């Protein structure tokens, strides 16, 4: 296959700029490598609320499902922050994950030698860190029922059910086992099994799946509070981490700080079959939107993950990653990764995209 349909979801804030920069890069790649991407835009987040009063309209969902893959920029902004929950941009994201069956979220946190000093952690602590967090994405307290806010005995009570079934744990454990076996073959499963029944089941099922079907993967378990410490104390102890949705939300963001800048971090959300969604970990940064100050590299690296996981083009994925390292070696920096006196050149979003494209 050498022609693919990709849905582009530019979203809000800096989304359109980083999408434009990523397009330039993908076009260069297609030309160089002899394949075509048909890029079709659709609405999500605040842009979709404004246009269709729905953060992820059926039309967008259909278009995503009819694609080979989906590339998402970022969503959200002050403008929609006080909307009722179902009319907030985040709800579009959650709906997309659930409706597209994207149960596995892969969040690499790899420290690049060029950006070692961007981290608030000491050089010797973060040098060489390469952690992959595999987060379950369609279960847990995010989607559990019963949930709500009721009046009980004259006072309000809020509740959400933290719940996992065996099959949900089984399938994410398989993704994690597979990911780990292609990396350092060390998998750390994070839970709170000393307190929670749902974590006890999590631990039992993960142990069964890995021991039985991934015998070459070395499995360990860690409580979530300890994991939050160990990620700071000595992150190099980790290779692949697997956890539920809410613990993964917290730990993957914490892990991203090891790298220093969210502006460099991609993610992949994938399901059993069908298209995945690839997106940078950063938000929509409304304060700098439209000023050509955004860093497009996380979205470009997300496109690399798309090539690897959805389009089965590992070679081209590698080419993109190398091109990103090359522009860093050329000492080009967007404001978020520029340090005082680092001897680097400050560039805008567009120039950064063009630099990556011309390396390719």
User: Which positions are catalytic?
Assistant: 142, 192, 225, 249, 253
> Are β-strands 130-136 and 104-110 bridged in parallel, bridged antiparallel, or unpaired?
antiparallel
- Work out whether 90 is an interface residue with ligand IPM (CB under 6 A): yes
CB atoms within 10 A of CB 53: 9
**CB–CB of 292/331 below 8 Å?**
no
Among 93, 106, 172, 347, binds ligand IPM (CB under 6 A): 93
Q: CA 337 to CA 73: how far, in whole Å?
A: 19
Cβ-proximal residue to ligand IPM, closest one: 90
Comparing CB distances to ligand IPM, the nearer of 225 and 312 is 225
Among 17, 68, 140, 249, binds ligand IPM (CB under 6 A): 249
Comparing CB distances to ligand IPM, the nearer of 12 and 249 is 249
257's contact among its own copies, ligand IPM, none, with CB below 5 to 8 A by partner kind, is: its own copies
The DSSP call for residue 124 is: H
- Work out whether 225 is an interface residue with ligand IPM (CB under 6 A): yes
Q: What is the closest distance, in whole angstroms, from the C-beta atom of residue 279 to ligand IPM in the complex?
A: 8
Q: CA 180 to CA 213: how far, in whole Å?
A: 13
- Residues of this chain that interact with its own copies (CB under 8 A) are 85, 88, 90, 94, 120-122, 125, 141-142, 144, 147-149, 152, 155-167, 192, 194-202, 205, 224-226, 228-229, 232-234, 246-247, 249-254, 256-257, 262
Helix (H/G/I), strand (E/B), else coil: 15 = helix
**CB–CB of 106/270 below 8 Å?**
yes
The one segment of 90-98, 173-181, 211-219, 323-331 that binds ligand IPM by CB under 6 A: 90-98
Comparing CB distances to ligand IPM, the nearer of 184 and 283 is 283
214's contact among ligand IPM, its own copies, none, with CB below 5 to 8 A by partner kind, is: none
**Two tokens at 156?**
């309000």
Comparing CB distances to its own copies, the nearer of 199 and 269 is 199
**CB–CB of 119/259 below 8 Å?**
yes
**CB–CB of 187/217 below 8 Å?**
yes
**CB–CB of 115/328 below 8 Å?**
yes
Q: What is the closest distance, in whole angstroms, from the C-beta atom of residue 81 to ligand IPM in the complex?
A: 12
Comparing CB distances to ligand IPM, the nearer of 226 and 291 is 226
> How far are the Cα atoms of 107, 195, 258, 347 from residue 115, in angstroms, in the given order?
18, 39, 11, 16
Q: CA 172 to CA 189: how far, in whole Å?
A: 11
The one segment of 47-55, 89-97, 204-212, 233-241 that binds ligand IPM by CB under 6 A: 89-97
Comparing CB distances to ligand IPM, the nearer of 4 and 142 is 142
> Are β-strands 186-191 and 240-243 bridged in parallel, bridged antiparallel, or unpaired?
parallel
Q: CA 4 to CA 51: how far, in whole Å?
A: 27
Q: What is the closest distance, in whole angstroms, from the C-beta atom of residue 302 to its own copies in the complex?
A: 18
Residues between 186 and 215 that touch ligand IPM (CB under 6 A) = 194-195
Chain contacts with ligand IPM (rule: CB under 6 A): 90, 93-94, 194-195, 225, 249
């Amino acid at each position: 296959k050498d022609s693919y349909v990709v849905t582009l979801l530019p979203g809000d804030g800096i989304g359109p700029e980083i999408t434009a920069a990523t397009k330039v890069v993908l076009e260069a790649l297609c030309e160089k490598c002899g394949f075509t991407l048909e890029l079709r835009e659709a609405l999500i987040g605040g842009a979709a609320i404004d246009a269709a009063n729905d953060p992820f309209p059926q039309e967008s969902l259909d278009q995503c499902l009819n694609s080979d893959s989906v590339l998402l920029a970022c969503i959200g902004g002050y403008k929609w922050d006080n909307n009722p929950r179902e009319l907030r941009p985040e709800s579009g994201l959650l709906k997309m994950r659930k409706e597209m069956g994207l149960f596995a979220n892969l969040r690499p946190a790899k420290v690049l030698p060029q950006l070692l000093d961007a981290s608030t952690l000491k050089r010797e602590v973060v040098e060489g860190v390469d952690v992959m967090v595999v987060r379950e994405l369609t279960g847990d307290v995010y989607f559990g029922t019963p949930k709500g806010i009721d009046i009980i005995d004259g006072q309000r009570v809020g509740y959400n059910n933290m719940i996992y079934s065996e099959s949900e744990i089984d399938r994410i454990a398989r993704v994690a086992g597979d990911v780990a076996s292609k990396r350092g073959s060390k998998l750390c499963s994070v839970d709170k099994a000393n307190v929670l029944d749902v974590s006890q089941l999590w631990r039992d099922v993960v142990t069964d799946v890995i021991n039985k079907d991934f015998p070459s993967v070395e499995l360990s378990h860690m409580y979530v509070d300890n994991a939050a410490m160990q990620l700071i104390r000595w992150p190099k102890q980790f290779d692949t981490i697997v956890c539920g949705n809410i613990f993964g939300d917290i730990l993957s963001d914490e892990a991203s700080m090891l790298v220093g800048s969210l502006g460099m971090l991609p993610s992949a959300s994938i399901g059993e079959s069908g298209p995945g969604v690839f997106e940078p970990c950063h938000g929509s940064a409304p304060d700098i939107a439209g000023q050509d100050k955004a860093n497009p590299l996380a979205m470009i690296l997300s496109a690399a993950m798309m090539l690897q996981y959805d389009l089965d083009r590992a070679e081209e994925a590698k080419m993109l990653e190398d091109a990103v390292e090359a522009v860093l070696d050329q000492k080009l920096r967007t404001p978020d990764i520029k340090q005082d006196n680092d001897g680097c050149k400050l560039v805008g979003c567009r120039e950064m995209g063009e630099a990556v494209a011309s390396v390719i």
